[in-house]
Each structure stands twice: as structure tokens, then as C-alpha cells.
């Protein structure tokens, strides 16, 4: 395979073309999902909250007792270098997802074939799926709550961002089998709203902004960004248990994620929020605050890709 024009990734100490990132099949990340990752994005080619994402990555590593063999500051520098080497491949209206992926590495027996000791460390980037998601900003996201429940914190904390996504993958498959355009938001084992495969949910009612408690969901960096911006704008922001009664009675709902930032919900299980507008007024105000905060119009960026 030619390596010309390929993105470059960091792989165990070296910057190599992506096609040369070959993880041994005996890596524990492949065998057991025994790995963690984190993903930020760029806005107009500038990386967003990298230190916060790397911090969260190290909290996930700590939870799984994986020693990455590398300090956070070094990983930040490597990530910036990966990005620098790949920006030339990006169109002016495009941006990247930027990810670190760290597995526990190989068990001793595998070293007969692969001499590697210690963690497997990868840093890579991928263009955002702007075209696929553009219509969500025009129409809103159709949320479906599948029967599959989010992993309970007693089993494995959803606050860690691990490579084992099967629980949310199953939830998403179920939601998409009901409606191919739907995004799953799983309920937790108590029947409260939890989160989706890569997003947090917020409900707005009577001007109060509510989101599920952190114990049951990943502490999204975009979730925190919206909570900060909403508080600054004078809204009261509450983390609490929310059920389908709350969802069906909400004036507005929106999802947050690294790629989406903030995106309106069109319906939950077919039931539209009461405000009737996409986005509703509070969602619009927070979207504007988000755009100002990142100094980039991500909504225009998505919409530009609508018919392209």
C-alpha cells in the first residue's frame, strides 16, 4: 500500500503512516477491550480542551490500573505533533477528531512472538463526519431509548472511557433497528436517562437545565462546557435523576458530544419537546454561547455540508 497522502499516527514511540499501525492480535485491548481512549476535536484546525481530555484519559487509565508509561504532558505534546503532521491533509471547512488510545498491552506469553512490553499507545486523528451529521442541525436528533440498560456503576463505571463499548453499541443497534436515523440514549438500571454511544443528554423545562448525574454517565467535556456556559448565562443547571416523564414533558432537549458540541433533539421515542422549535430558544442561546466560546461557527460548518 502506498503511504503517500496517508494520515500519520503515533504508535509506541514512532510517527508512522496509519497503515503501519498494526496492533498484535494478542493485545489485551483487542482480546478484552482492556484499553481506554479519549477524543477531542479541532475547531478551524485548532485543538479543543486537549489538557482536559488528557486529564480524563488518565482518570480512565487510573481506574483500570493501566500504566501508560508516559506522562500526561508528553502525551499532550505527541498529540499536538500528530495534529501538526496531519493538518495539511484537511480541507479548509473540515476538522479532525483527535484520539489517544492506550491498551494494557500484551500478556507475557505473547512476547515469544512480539517483543513489546508495556502499554500499547496510539495517537491518531480522523476527519469529522460533517456530511453524515449535517441534517441533525436542521431537523434535530430523533432519540430512542432502547430496552438495553446502561452498564451499572457497580459493574463498571460509565465514568471511565474504555474501549469496551459493547453496552452502548447494543443500545444503538436496537435504537437503529427501530428507526435507522435514531440515536440511542440508554436508560440506567433504575430507569433514569443515562447517555448514548458518544453523547450526553440535557432537558430544559421552565428555563431550568437538567442532565443526568455523573455517577451514571461519562463526564462529557462538552457536557461540562455547556454547564459552564449555561451557568454564566444565568441559568440554573441541575444534575439529577431524570426519567421518561421528564423527557416527554421537556420544553427542549439537546445532546452534547465532542463532535456535535450541542445539537437539538427532535423527539424522544417519537414525542417532540413542547417548545415545538428546532432548536428551542434555550438550546439556541447555548449554541450561540458555545460558538462564541470556541470562536468557531460549528453549526454553519455542519450545514455547509448538507448538500455537498
- Residues near ligand PMP, by CB under 6 A: 39, 161, 168, 195, 198-200, 217-218, 220-223, 256-258
CA 35, distance to chain mean position in Å, is 16
Closest residue to ligand PMP, based on beta-carbon distance: 220
The minimum distance between CB 50 and ligand PMP, in angstroms, equals 12
222 vs 267, beta carbon nearer ligand PMP: 222
The minimum distance between CB 227 and ligand PMP, in angstroms, equals 11
The minimum distance between CB 139 and ligand PMP, in angstroms, equals 21
The minimum distance between CB 274 and ligand PMP, in angstroms, equals 25
Burial class (CB in 10 A: 0-12, 13-18, 19+), 157: middle
Of 38, 124, 116, 43, nearest to 81 by C-alpha is 124
Task: State the Cα–Cα distance between residues 86 and 90, nearest whole angstrom.
Answer: 7
Residue pair 139/278 in contact (Cβ under 8 Å)? The answer is yes
26 vs 46, beta carbon nearer ligand PMP: 46
The minimum distance between CB 168 and ligand PMP, in angstroms, equals 6
86 vs 259, beta carbon nearer ligand PMP: 259
The minimum distance between CB 48 and ligand PMP, in angstroms, equals 10
3-state secondary structure 214-228: HHHCCCCHHHHHHHH
Residue pair 82/15 in contact (Cβ under 8 Å)? The answer is yes
Q: CA separation (Å) from 238 to 213, 221, 260, 277? A: 9, 16, 21, 23
3: its cell numbers: 503511504
106 vs 143, beta carbon nearer ligand PMP: 143
201 vs 278, beta carbon nearer ligand PMP: 201
198 vs 280, beta carbon nearer ligand PMP: 198
The minimum distance between CB 214 and ligand PMP, in angstroms, equals 11
User: Among all chains, which residue has been given the C-alpha cell 439537546?
Assistant: 254
Of 209, 187, 207, 206, nearest to 196 by C-alpha is 187
Task: State the Cα–Cα distance between residues 284 and 58, nearest whole angstrom.
Answer: 33
86 vs 199, beta carbon nearer ligand PMP: 199
106 vs 260, beta carbon nearer ligand PMP: 260
The minimum distance between CB 303 and ligand PMP, in angstroms, equals 21
Amino acid at each position: 500500500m502506498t503511504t503517500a497522502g496517508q494520515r500519520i499516527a503515533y504508535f509506541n514511540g514512532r510517527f508512522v503512516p496509519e497503515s503501519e499501525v498494526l496492533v498484535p492480535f494478542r493485545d489485551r485491548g483487542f482480546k478484552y477491550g482492556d484499553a481506554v481512549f479519549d477524543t477531542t476535536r479541532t475547531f478551524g484546525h485548532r485543538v479543543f480542551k486537549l489538557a482536559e481530555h488528557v486529564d480524563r484519559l488518565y482518570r480512565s487509565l487510573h481506574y483500570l490500573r493501566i500504566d501508560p508509561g508516559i506522562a500526561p504532558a508528553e502525551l499532550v505534546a505527541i498529540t499536538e505533533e500528530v495534529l501538526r503532521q496531519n493538518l495539511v491533509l484537511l480541507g479548509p471547512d473540515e476538522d479532525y477528531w483527535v484520539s489517544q488510545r492506550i491498551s494494557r498491552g500484551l500478556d507475557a506469553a505473547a512476547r515469544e512472538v512480539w517483543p513489546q512490553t508495556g502499554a500499547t499507545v496510539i495517537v491518531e486523528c480522523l476527519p469529522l463526519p460533517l456530511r453524515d451529521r449535517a441534517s441533525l442541525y436542521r431537523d434535530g436528533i430523533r432519540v430512542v431509548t432502547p430496552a438495553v440498560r446502561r452498564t451499572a456503576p457497580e459493574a463498571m463505571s460509565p465514568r471511565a472511557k474504555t474501549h469496551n463499548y459493547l453496552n452502548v453499541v447494543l443500545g444503538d443497534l436496537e435504537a437503529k433497528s427501530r428507526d435507522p436515523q435514531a440515536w440511542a440514549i440508554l436508560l440506567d438500571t433504575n430507569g433514569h436517562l443515562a447517555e448514548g454511544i458518544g453523547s450526553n443528554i440535557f432537558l430544559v423545562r421552565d428555563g431550568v437545565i437538567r442532565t443526568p448525574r455523573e455517577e451514571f454517565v461519562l463526564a462529557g467535556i462538552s457536557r461540562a462546557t455547556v454547564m459552564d456556559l449555561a451557568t454564566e448565562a444565568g441559568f440554573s443547571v441541575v444534575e439529577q435523576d431524570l426519567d421518561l416523564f421528564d423527557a416527554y414533558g421537556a420544553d427542549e432537549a439537546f445532546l452534547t458530544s465532542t463532535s456535535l458540541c450541542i445539537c437539538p433533539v427532535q423527539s424522544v421515542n417519537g414525542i417532540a419537546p413542547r417548545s415545538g422549535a428546532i432548536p428551542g430558544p434555550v438550546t439556541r442561546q447555548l449554541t450561540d454561547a458555545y460558538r462564541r466560546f470556541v470562536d468557531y461557527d460549528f453549526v454553519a460548518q455542519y450545514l455547509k455540508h448538507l448538500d455537498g
